[in-house]
């Protein structure tokens, strides 16, 4: 079947002074998974621009291709059509400029917390060993784990693991941070605290962040924009701007207003999705 050229609405960039070039340009990206029984259009001509320093949340029901899109941005998956341009360069494989934080911490159990943060730093040849150690310590302090430098991974709680994973992703100073439901497996209390932390760290470091989630409140709490995706085929259906001031409290009523609006849109999608399946 020929992919229909449905033009997903080009997002209007927030009218900020330095609207030079978007950090990430996703151009008509398609991905199709072929199994022996069926072909699944994971993504169909998806386009999205992400500005420098922007926090974008991708949300949608399972199967809408949000994680696939993140993998393509990371360079871990090659798209069947279209391309991703990061800093003016077409993404052809994974690179240190776009680090990924996964749902499971993906920390290496044979290294301690410090060793895990050092892993990416050791792959940067332009640093001296002392610089690497200082950077690793700095980021462990930033996520509040300076006392747990030499703890092994299994000794850490779920929230602490994700903090180490965050430090590991931040330490090599990537331009873009790609986060794939990083807090999904954590309890609500730990999550609430991490929302504060991630907002603080984001405001300090001004990284560009693309954050995949299926939690509407989480998306509204963190994102400058919330990109709603729908399954079968995976595409972008709606983009919400969240002009709330920061830092945001996930339990604030203003936030709940936006969340219910997006939740309603999401419900519309899942309703349709269930019928078409």
- The Cα 141–Cα 131 span in angstroms is 15
Alpha helices in 42-128 (DSSP H): 66-74, 113-122
**Interface residue with another protein, options 149, 152, 244, 268 (CB under 8 A):** 152
CB of 259 to another protein, least distance (A): 30
CB of 250 to another protein, least distance (A): 27
119 near another protein, rule: CB under 8 A = yes
Cβ neighbourhood burial of 93 (10 Å; 0-12, 13-18, 19+): exposed
- The Cα 145–Cα 247 span in angstroms is 22
| Residue 250: CA count within 13 A, CB half-sphere | 18
43 near another protein, rule: CB under 8 A = no
81 near another protein, rule: CB under 8 A = no
The token duo for 89 is: 């360069």
CB of 80 to another protein, least distance (A): 20
145 near another protein, rule: CB under 8 A = no
The token duo for 129 is: 């060993």
Pick out residues in 89-108 that bind another protein (CB under 8 A).
94-96, 98-100, 102, 104, 106, 108
With a CB cutoff of 8 Å and minimum separation 6, the contacts of 204 are none
Under rule CB under 8 A, how many of the chain's residues touch another protein?
Answer: 25
109 near another protein, rule: CB under 8 A = yes
Q: Residue 243, SS3?
A: coil
Binding site for another protein (CB under 8 A): 74-76, 94-96, 98-100, 102, 104, 106, 108-110, 119-120, 123-124, 152-155, 168, 172
């Amino acid at each position: 079947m020929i992919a229909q050229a449905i033009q997903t609405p080009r997002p209007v960039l927030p009218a900020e002074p330095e609207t030079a070039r978007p950090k990430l340009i996703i151009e008509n990206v398609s991905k199709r998974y072929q199994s022996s029984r069926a072909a699944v259009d994971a993504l169909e001509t998806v386009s999205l621009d992400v500005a420098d320093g922007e926090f974008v949340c991708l949300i949608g029901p399972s199967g809408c291709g949000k994680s696939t899109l993140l993998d393509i941005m990371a360079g871990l998956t090659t798209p069947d059509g279209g391309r991703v341009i990061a800093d003016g360069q077409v993404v052809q494989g994974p690179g240190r400029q776009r680090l990924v934080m996964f749902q499971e911490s993906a920390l290496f159990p044979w290294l301690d917390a410090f060793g895990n943060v050092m892993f990416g730093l050791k792959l940067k040849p332009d640093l001296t060993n002392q610089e690497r150690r200082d950077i690793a310590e700095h980021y462990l302090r930033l996520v509040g784990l300076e006392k747990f430098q030499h703890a092994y991974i299994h000794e850490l709680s779920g929230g602490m693991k994700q903090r180490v994973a965050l430090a590991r992703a931040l330490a090599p100073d990537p331009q873009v941070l790609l986060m794939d439901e990083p807090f999904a497996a954590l309890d609500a209390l730990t999550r609430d605290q991490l929302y504060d932390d991630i907002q603080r760290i984001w405001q300090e470091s001004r990284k560009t962040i693309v954050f995949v989630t299926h939690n509407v409140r989480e998306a509204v709490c963190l994102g400058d924009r919330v990109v709603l995706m729908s399954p079968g085929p995976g595409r972008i259906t709606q983009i919400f701007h969240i002009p709330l001031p920061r830092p945001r409290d996930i339990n604030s009523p203003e936030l709940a207003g936006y969340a219910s609006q997006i939740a309603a849109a999401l419900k519309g999608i899942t309703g349709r999705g269930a019928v078409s399946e």
